[in-house]
Structure 1
């Protein structure tokens, strides 16, 4: 049940509504169109459009670094490939490459823009750089690969990527977002806003016939609170999904499987607190890379004349 509710939230879409006072975040913003209406047997009307938190007072969802514009010309990647840091990283990857039979393209995704590697999730990078370089990948079978062979083969791939970047530099927009629990601490310490947000969330959720909340909706409630807590919506950051899912397991022990209003608020505060403690111990950083420009090779006059002849 908890899993199905969590999967449902992955499909949630958000909408914004403008007023004369500016943008405000409402509970309806966090619900999909199909569910942005009262559930029976709740009474009509329900306050779907009351403010959850004004935009200006919503805590930042994370520690977001500045957007850096980086030109990858192969120099940084070449230096990394020749360093001892690369050797250690490659040896760490080797065991997983051999036991899990990882494709080499997945191995390359382990390297980052900070190391000079363009994002292998970008279709242009895959087509014009990665696939071309991997044509010379020497290891045909992971079972027979030796650690030293793997390291040198992988080094050769990175050097090949560096050579292509030298002739075709890529300009990247790069930023790192860190979830470190600070926004959750802000949510918990601002008692007035916290109680207000929890109360509105309680009113918005469907109840069973005795007016209590089924425990499986705690995950839905947590996702509705995302604008206030600073947590990403379910399904947007895989590492955060794992942490949230782990902490939501505490709800399985709820007696009777239902919560009244007071119990709901207590459980929500405890869940948020547990997530905050985990992020303080182990912050989650997510990098975002976008290729904003790439060199274009225009045909020469000789190429044009050859095309006309054909």
Structure 2
């Protein structure tokens, strides 16, 4: 059974992106994003616009893929903030400093002109696991199918390293995402497997 998909309307007023810019996660996330951008001859404006396209609603940015958001929230702010610095070579430091300045101005623009965004999110609250554990027949059937997929040594024993394979097989029945799909879930599973 899949996790419940919840649709929400979000009013994006710049608060979340400002919070992201001021958070300790900002610098490492933006440097990681910078390293993913492949713009060999790109200007600073190109880098910043591409970075805005990669930001998510969770980071406080309405989808820049929406033409209205791009033309009313991103491009005007980039144009007003990036002047002579557009011709400089784009280093990590330049990108980070200028992106921060542009993002703060974008937050101000969103405060003046908020955007309503329809957003879907999966909620993994453990209810699928509780449901699976409460039905012994379903649990036994699911565990049996998961165990059949795991390789065994010549003595019929399973290696602990195949635990992730079993979890991937169990995931749909327990209402969990596949391993690798949601970082937060991967961390929880990693912590649990270390304890075993």
| Mapped contact 1:118–1:125 kept (Cα < 8 A) | no
Higher relative contact order (CA 8 A, sep 6+): 2
C-alpha RMSD of matched pairs (Å): 4.2
Matching residue within 202, 213, 235 for 2:180: 235
Distance 1:198 1:90, change over 3 A: closer
Distance 1:220 1:178, change over 3 A: same
TM-score, normalised with respect to structure 1: 0.42
Matching residue within 133, 139, 144 for 2:77: 133
The whole-number CA distance in structure 1 between the counterparts of 2:186 and 2:96 is 36
Q: Which residue of 2 aligns with 1:225?
A: 170
CA shift, 1:230, in A, is 1.1
TM-score, normalised with respect to structure 2: 0.61
The whole-number CA distance in structure 2 between the counterparts of 1:86 and 1:202 is 44
CA shift, 1:142, in A, is 6.4
The whole-number CA distance in structure 2 between the counterparts of 1:246 and 1:125 is 42
For residue 119 of structure 2, give the secondary structure of its aligned residue in structure 1: strand
Q: Which residue of 2 aligns with 1:92?
A: 22
Structure with greater strand percent: 1
1:118 aligns with 2:62: yes
For residue 139 of structure 2, give the secondary structure of its aligned residue in structure 1: helix
Segments of 5+ residues of structure 1 without an aligned counterpart are: 1-57, 252-310
Distance 1:106 1:228, change over 3 A: same
Matching residue within 55, 77, 91 for 1:109: 55
| Mapped contact 2:56–2:62 kept (Cα < 8 A) | no
For residue 213 of structure 1, give the secondary structure of its aligned residue in structure 2: coil
Segments of 5+ residues of structure 2 without an aligned counterpart are: 35-47, 86-92
Cα deviation, 1:57-112, whole Å, max 9, x if unaligned, reads: x4xx43432x35x5x9xxx54xx34xxx569726633x554677646636983655
| Mapped contact 1:187–1:228 kept (Cα < 8 A) | yes
Displaced runs of 4 or more, over 4 A: 85-88, 95-104, 110-113, 123-129, 138-145, 159-163
Q: Which residue of 2 aligns with 1:64?
A: 5
